[in-house]
Amino acid sequence: MIITRTALAGAALAAAGLLAAAGTAAADAPAGVADLGNANFTKAGTTISIPTQAPCAVEGPTSGSATAVSQPGVRFGGGTSSCTTEVTDPANDVTTTTSTATGNNFELSALVSSGGKRIRISSYTVTCKATQSGSNANWTLSGLTGISGLPSPIPANYTKPLTKSDGTLLANAVFNIQTLPGDGSMTLTMLRIDFAPASGASGSVTVGHTACSPTP
């Protein structure tokens, strides 16, 4: 399975389910960041924590890499990130930015002991690009197993319940999480898995994150 989704923040598009906003980015919005994801949850009295993997930022560090890391119930297979700035008009100091992260072989097994499925993603990429007029972000993943019945295209902030065979909710998988504050900036998280009480766990796992703001 290959899934691709795009969102925009700027004056460009407001059709076909794509969100749009215009304006000048707020001072606290990042110029451009990206990472592979992280995990922070508790199961059976044990805290499982994997810090943000391979983070990068336009303001530095501009690249990141991570090798595979595993904790009980979750695995990130490693990957890279890059947050770059390109000068498109030297005379007027006009720039564009591109912030992207690409990860491989993600696996969540924390639901299996509670009767849930093992979730795997072979590869995924998140990207946020910004110009003076706005920003746009997209994500793609391939090799998804353990989650089925997703709509095409996947709308913003779409929640897919993850259940046992009897319908008991174990977790919610929230795809395509978008924040568009209306200032031309945007934040995109490809997937966040939030555990429900019946799983015996609490907390969440995030896979693929990026954000960017219009350039000055």
Of 88, 67, 176, 69, which is closest to residue 130 (Cα–Cα)? 88
Q: In 115-213, which ranges are continuous DSSP H helix?
A: none
> What domain count does the chain have?
1
Q: Report how far residue 87's alpha carbon sits from residue 149's, in angstroms, rounded to the nearest whole number.
A: 43
Query: What phi and psi values does residue 90 have, to the nearest 5 degrees?
Result: -60, -35
Note down the domain range covering 125.
2-212
Average pLDDT of every residue of the chain: 89
Which tokens sit at 166? 């009897």
Q: What is the DSSP letter of 145?
A: B
Confidence label for 8 from pLDDT (cuts 50, 70 and 90): low
Residues near 158 by beta carbon (within 8 Å), at least 6 away in sequence = 150, 151, 174, 175, 176
* Single-letter amino acid code for the residue at 115: G
pTM score: 0.87
**Per-residue pLDDT at 93:** 87
Q: Are the beta carbons of 155 and 174 closer than 8 angstroms? A: no
Partner residues linked to 200 by β-bridges: none
Q: CA–CA distance from 133 to each of 6, 23, 186, 196 (Å)?
A: 17, 8, 13, 41
Cα–Cα distances (Å) from 61 to 9, 65, 84, 110, 176, in that order, read 25, 11, 10, 32, 26
Per residue in 121-169, pLDDT (tens digit) is 999 999 999 999 999 999 999 999 999 999 989 999 999 999 999 999 9
Kindly state the greatest CA–CA separation across the chain.
65
Cβ–Cβ contacts within 10 Å for residue 116, how many?
22
Residue 82 has pLDDT above 50, yes or no: yes
Q: How many residues does the chain have?
A: 216
What is the pLDDT, as a whole number, of residue 24?
Answer: 44
